[in-house]
Chain A
Amino acid sequence: MTTVSSSAPERVGESPLRASLARRGSVFLYRHAKVRLALLLSAPLFWLGLVYIAALVALLITAFWTVDSFTGEILLDWNVNNITKVVGDALYHAVTLRTVGAALLVTAIDIVIALPIAFFMAKVASRTARRALVIAILMPLWASYLVKAYAWRSILAQDGIIDWIVGPLGGSSPGYGFDGAVLTLAYLWLPFVILPIYTALERVPDSLLDASSDLGAKTGSTFRHIVLPLIFPGIVAGSIFSFSLTLGDYIAVKIVGGATQMLGTLVYSNVGVANNLPLAAAISLIPLAIIFIYLGVVRRTGALNSL
Chain B
Amino acid sequence: MRLSLSSKIVLWVTTALTLAFIYVPILVVVLNSFSTSRTLSWPPPGLTTEWWGKALTNAGALTAISTSLVVAAVSTVIALLLGTALSFALHRFDFFGKSTVNLLVVLPIALPGIVTGIALNNAFRTMLDMQLGWFTIIVAHATFCVVTVFNNVFARLRRVGTSLEEASSDLGAGIWTTFRLVTFPQIRSALFAGGLLSFALSFDEIIVTTFTAGSGVQTLPIFILDNMFRPNQAPIVAVVAVVMILIAIVPIYLAQRLTATDDR
Contacts and interface: CB of A to CB of B under 8 A. Distances in A.
Mutual binders A and B: yes
Interface of A: 1, 4-5, 8, 10-11, 22-23, 25-27, 29-30, 33, 36-37, 39-41, 43-45, 47-49, 51-56, 58-59, 62, 74, 113, 116-117, 119-121, 123-124, 133, 135-140, 142-148, 150-155, 157-161, 163-164, 187, 190-191, 206, 209-210, 213, 219, 244-245, 247-251, 255, 264, 267-268, 271, 277, 280-281, 284, 287-288, 291
Contacts, number: 271
Give the one of A121, A138, A219 with max B CB within 10 A. A219
A105 B256 CA distance: 33
Interface of B: 1-4, 7-8, 10-12, 14-15, 18-19, 21-26, 28-29, 32, 39-43, 78, 81-83, 85-86, 88-89, 92-93, 95, 101, 104-105, 107-108, 111-116, 118-123, 125-127, 139, 142-143, 146, 169, 171-177, 180-181, 200, 204, 206-207, 210-211, 221, 224-225, 228, 237-238, 241, 244-245, 248-249, 252, 256
> Chain A interface secondary structure, helix, strand, loop or mixed?
helix
B126 A8 contact: no
A113 B21 contact: yes
A62 B118 CA distance: 11
Given A151-B28, A151-B241, 6 more contacts: A26-B174, A44-B89, A47-B143, A117-B15, A247-B112, A281-B118
Given A8-B173, A58-B123, A251-B206, A219 B3 contact: yes
Contacts of B7: 219
15 contacts: A8-B177, A25-B176, A43-B81, A52-B116, A52-B143, A59-B123, A113-B18, A133-B15, A146-B225, A158-B41, A190-B21, A209-B1, A210-B1, A251-B207, A284-B115
B122 to A, nearest CB: 5
Contacts of A287: 112, 114-115
A32 to B, nearest CB: 11
Contacts of B1: 123-124, 206, 209-210, 213
A55 B26 contact: no
A187 to B, nearest CB: 7
B122 A146 contact: no
A79 to B, nearest CB: 16
A44 B245 contact: no
A147 B245 contact: yes
Contacts of B139: 51
Nearest to A136: B19
Nearest to A188: B25
Contacts of A159: 39, 41-42
A40 B142 CA distance: 17
A1 B118 contact: no
B110 to A, nearest CB: 8
A187 B127 CA distance: 38
> Chain B interface secondary structure, helix, strand, loop or mixed?
helix
Contacts of A52: 104, 107-108, 116, 119, 143
B165 to A, nearest CB: 11
A281 B82 CA distance: 29
A30 B204 contact: no
Contacts of A136: 19, 22-23
Contacts of B248: 142-144
Give the one of B78, B82, B169 with max A CB within 10 A. B82
Given A10-B177, A26-B175, A244-B112, A124 B118 contact: no
A112 to B, nearest CB: 10
Nearest to B242: A147
Contacts of B81: 43
B114 A45 contact: no
A30 B12 CA distance: 58
A298 to B, nearest CB: 14
A58 B24 CA distance: 43
Contacts of B93: 33, 36-37, 40
Nearest to A285: B115
B206 A145 contact: yes
A249 B88 CA distance: 34
A142 B3 CA distance: 34
A183 B253 CA distance: 28
Given A43-B81, A140-B26, A30 B174 contact: yes
Contacts of A161: 24, 28, 42
A142 B118 contact: no
A117 B20 CA distance: 12
Contact of A48 (B42, B146, B245): B146
B87 to A, nearest CB: 9
A132 to B, nearest CB: 10
